[in-house]
Structure 1
């Protein structure tokens, strides 16, 4: 796996990450969602540098200009519900991409720290010979991404996969390295070193879905 960890260089991304981590600022749910969206835009811009480009001719009112434009055979897939603001940020830049959505949640059936990731909804176009962008803001254990890609296999084999995450754990990153193809790219804004007993990233930021859309039962 090719890992692009954007926290290794200082940029405006630091400000957005600081605000989504801050327990006071993150209480403003609209601001939290907007910051996730802006992080998606930054990650999408960096990702765009690795795509294939084709020279095309554009007719302006005063002449003709040749411009290289990116490959458009993209499918953008978000993991509900936490992935929606990140999805919007990416869609702001990859506005011609096809879209897919998948639901995945942690099932603590016996109220213990152990959980199973359950996938029970998928809406996706064909992935055959396309570039798949998988958006999941919190890469904790990596099991959600594993179950997601397994569920999508029936929709064809993409020619390349890009995973886009906001914050991940070191353990989660190492886990998906063994699950995904070697040429998979991971675009991530920060990697934290620890997971707690419940599988949450430390220091992380909490539950991204709850912070975006409210606490669930």
Structure 2
């Protein structure tokens, strides 16, 4: 296992993920569970945010209390399925910036093709957290992270629900400076590039398009 990979083993993350995997879980419940897991993943990926102290007046007295030292993080959703994670993370940090990268996977070559890119201008001073439910082949994540680096992002973390060993290997080789946070490392990819046992197509299950 790569040292870049962090599996979030919290019992509630694992339990909710098992519910999401079930083919009998309908879109409304799938979206709710994804939003709940996203909050828990956000706790883990922001665990090392640096703090400083500021003077705050409570109803009883003035005191030096911990506050974030740096600018709030920037969450970047890889469209469309990444929005399911983005919403939950913004619940935790509503003052964070948010951006979107539109990429789709060519079903013949499995390569990522960009169709949309809109991100904040001040990413250089912020932790950039890229979110996408699935790290399958890794091509989409690699392309998104490279675009973000080109746009000025300097410190990047990648968050997903599920990862395949092939995707982890591809992402680590292309961006060894990017930690990966996931709820589970599954067995493999099938011949169509889907994670096994996985949970199906995350975008279709979020939005009920199949």
TM-score (norm 1): 0.89
Shift of 1:57: 2.2
1:118 matches 2:113: yes
When structure 1 is superposed on structure 2, of 66-75 and 164-173 the one drifting more is: 66-75
Aligned positions, number? 206
Q: Are residue 193 (structure 1) and residue 192 (structure 2) matched?
A: no
**1:64 matched to which residue of 2?**
62
Q: Distance in 1 between matches of 2:86 and 2:186?
A: 22
Check whether the contact 1:103–1:119 (CA below 8 A) recurs between aligned residues: yes
The aligned counterpart of 1:5 is 7
Write the distance in 2 (CA, Å) between the matches of 1:157 and 1:82.
22
Confirm or deny: 8 A CA contact 2:133 2:162 kept in the other structure: yes
The alignment status of 1:45 with 2:47, answered yes or no, reads no
Shift of 1:89: 1.1
Q: Distance between the aligned counterparts of 2:64 and 2:184, measured in 1?
A: 37
The alpha carbon displacement at 1:83 in A equals: 0.7
CA distance in 2, matches of 1:198, 1:179: 22
Q: Does 1:212 align with 2:206?
A: yes
After superposing the two structures, state which structure 1 stretch, 56-65 or 74-83, moved more: 56-65
TM-score in terms of structure 2 length: 0.91
Partner secondary structure for residue 31 of structure 1: helix
Once the two structures are TM-superposed, the CA of residue 132 in structure 1 deviates from its matched residue by 0.6
Structure 2: how far apart are the matches of 1:141 and 1:190? 15
- Is 1:162 the equivalent of 2:164? no
